[in-house]
Amino acid sequence: MVHATANPASDAFVFFGATGDLAWKKIFPALQAMVRRDGLDIPIIGVAHAGWDVERLRERARDGIEKHDTLDADAFARLSSLLHYIDGDYAEPATFASLRQALGAAQRPIHYLAIPPSLFGTVVQGLAKAGCAHGARVIVEKPFGRDLASAQALNATLHAVFPEESVFRIDHYLGKEAVQNLLYFRFANTFLEPIWNRNFIDSVQITMAENFGVQGRGSFYEEVGAIRDVVQNHLLQVVALLAMDAPTGRDVEALRAEKLRLFRAMRPLDPREVVRGQFTGYRDEPGVARDSQVETFAALRLHIDTWRWAGVPFYIRAGKNLPISATEVLVDLKRPPIGIFDEIDARDSNYFRFRLSPEVSISAGTRVKKVGEDMVGERVELVARRQLSREKSPYERLLGDAIHGEASLFTRDDAVEAAWRVVAPMVSGVPGLHLEPPSPYAPGQWGPAAAAKVVAAREGWHDPQAEDAAPC
């Protein structure tokens, strides 16, 4: 986002959980990039309870950047000189007294809670009592709750100290260039809007496939499963950007209002339209129960009850250990009413395909006449591809936006709660209905065979391909 906001920028960046995994993998590389690209020069204060000192934190920062990005000696030296470290128990007032001291003359710090949500209450109260919350902003990470009730409780915890406009909830998908482009592409062009509705669109499919398992995060994953991990947040956000109406103005709240209307129009999932799967071998992962019922795959049908979308199924599929890592949206248009030239195959309709990762492209699926005497055709994809090598990472973009008080890529409290209402039947259950256990699937397959039942038989699932192999 361009920082067009009139909000004053934060004048110190504090991050709790400074010795943790997120800081190592994402926060330090993002901070180095912000120093290099934007000249970030505010104090950066890491807080943790690990018995470390600032030297050790600098080493950790260097290691994280070397492993997950590229070290830039000059930018890293500047980042190192901005770094401070406070070691202390989050339950101890002394920790926050030290923080207050380290903040010095800063008037508008931003506090990033890169810590488990169970600690949010302790930390925000500690900040408030020590006078560190006044004029401050707070950034929190997903998972934002594990169901509607816990999300509401977390919101209440944060709001006891920070007003909603000072709370920045990160969903890193919203920081991805390709995800932002969905919104831009829809509303910066005129040709889509007339057809972007139930009259022309047959169905929408979103697949988020990963060709790896839980990567040692078994105990985390046991608490979430695919629906909480990526459907409630990343993929419903993608649906919102694809399906919302145009915002009525440029301001952040206009965008958020339309997204909220869309979330509220999503019908809560019907467990009979959801298939859960679990890859074989998941139960042998460290931290995973031997009889775990947690899904590593989900395929579902979502309905949006608006005049624009009534009757158009939104199919969502996400899973670990699938054949490929790729996230793709396929918007399938209705077939021509009569096949004048050749039989119209169900798979040969027009479509738009948005590749969101790892490559970024937008394609239009068309039919074109084959060279020759006969009026027969073939499918041709018109593809626009982008090279994103110099783009900002989602964390660089989102942390920069939060520091500048630019909220449009962050999720508001009411939208988070509305998204939990949509998945509630799958995460909180439905009285009288027993959830089917997840069906097993072999790693490297597209989930369990039962997933085929979720989509209309004539369509089938569209499996993202390695980009080079995709038809062009």
Q: Residues in the site for ligand BG6, rule: CB under 6 A?
A: 172, 210, 229-230, 357
Q: Give the H/E segment covering residue 315.
A: strand 314-319
Residues 6+ apart with CB under 8 A from 270: 301, 425
Instruction: Write down the least CB distance from residue 350 to ligand BG6, Å.
Output: 28
Instruction: Write down the least CB distance from residue 289 to ligand BG6, Å.
Output: 18
Alpha helix (H) residue ranges in 130-251? 148-159, 177-187, 218-226, 236-243
Assigned token pair, 122: 């302790």
Which of 256, 269, 383 has its CA nearest to residue 316?
269
Is residue 234 annotated as part of the catalytic site, yes or no? Answer: yes
Q: How far is CA 89 from the centre of its chain?
A: 31
Residue closest to ligand BG6 (Cβ): 229
Closer CB to ligand BG6, residue 172 or residue 404? 172
Closer CB to ligand BG6, residue 88 or residue 447? 447
Catalytic one among 84, 111, 172, 234?
234
Instruction: Write down the least CB distance from residue 173 to ligand BG6, Å.
Output: 7
Residue pair 223/333 in contact (Cβ under 8 Å)? The answer is no
Closer CB to ligand BG6, residue 230 or residue 260? 230
Distance between CA 340 and CA 357 in Å, rounded? 37
**Per this entry, what is the length of the chain?**
472
Instruction: Write down the least CB distance from residue 111 to ligand BG6, Å.
Output: 21
Instruction: Write down the least CB distance from residue 281 to ligand BG6, Å.
Output: 17
Closer CB to ligand BG6, residue 102 or residue 230? 230
**Terminal alpha carbon distance of the chain:** 31
Specify the pairing of strand 201-209 against strand 12-16.
unpaired
φ/ψ (deg, to 5) at 433: -115, 125
Closer CB to ligand BG6, residue 43 or residue 323? 323
Catalytic residues: 234
